[in-house]
Amino acid sequence: MNNKPILFIDSGIGGLVYCMDFIKKCSQEEVCYLADRENFPYGQRAKDELAQILVSLTEKLIKKIDPKIIVLACNTAAVSALEPLRQNFPNIPFVGTVPAIKPAVNASKTGKIGVLGTARTINDPYNQHLVDECGKDCEIIGIAAPDLVEFIEQRFDKADKNEKIAIIKKYIDIFSSKGADALVLGCTHFLHLLEEFQNEAAPSIQIFDSLDGVTKRIEHLLDENNSVLRANPSSKPEYKLLLTDKEPPDSIWENRAQDLGFKLSLI
């Protein structure tokens, strides 16, 4: 049995949805979630710059917490740095979070697929590669939404339902006007508003995300090699929320850690 932690990395709260989905299904596993506040937001950084940041950060985290699996719980991080990380740290399994374009393409009847994400994710050639793999002639309608990332990071805990609906409705209206019938949430932050997206987009637009696929991939890695990566089921796991920041955590992060039952600390 292996009680080393599984590490989730994002620039802020976006990947927490993925982290909590995994904990719900594999509650015996030790988990560390890193919010890289020092380098937030990832979406505005050049691809090479972000890759260098994540390689350096990962090296530090491996020395500090010795994870058995690392999850890039961020679409921008995955499309920018997944391959460099695998090359630099070949002994650790990495799980990427990439836009759920394949199921969206297969489900679309209009052949027009909306992708909402950061500028870095939207402009990455990997998206077209996913479409090409499906063998279908589809158009990707990509929209970068940095204001939505900021809203979820800074306002989500305080915003009421009307405010949440208002900020996503303008994007749904754009995709609808362009004939899209499938919308991929290409940023993990946006899954905090998954229910609002689903309700406001129905019935003309179907919403897609990679949440289930990421959790299943982690479970698959845990079960490889006769389950040697699985934690001891009788042990009590510890969940940690780590922040990269020179300043002490503000009350928002303290409240988040308390609500989730995570131990909060700076690295």
Residues involved in catalysis: 74, 187
Q: Does residue 221 come out as left (phi exceeding 0), alpha (psi in the -120 to 50 range) or beta?
A: alpha
Q: Which amino acid is at 124?
A: D
Rg (CA), the chain: 18
Report the candidate in 32, 36, 42, 37 with the shortest Cα–Cα distance to residue 4. Answer: 32
DSSP letter string, 99-142? --HHHHHHH-SSSEEEEEE-HHHHT-THHHHHHHHHT---EEEE
C-beta separation of 175 from 134 below 8 A: no
Largest pairwise CA distance in the chain: 54
Query: Alpha helix locations (H) across 181-263?
Result: 194-201, 211-227, 251-260
Name the β-bridge partners of 208. Answer: 184
C-beta separation of 245 from 235 below 8 A: no
Name the β-bridge partners of 239. Answer: 31
> Is the sign of the CA dihedral 79, 81, 85, 88 positive or negative?
positive
| Exposure class string for 230-242: b at 16+ Cβ within 10 A, else e | bbeeeeebebbbb
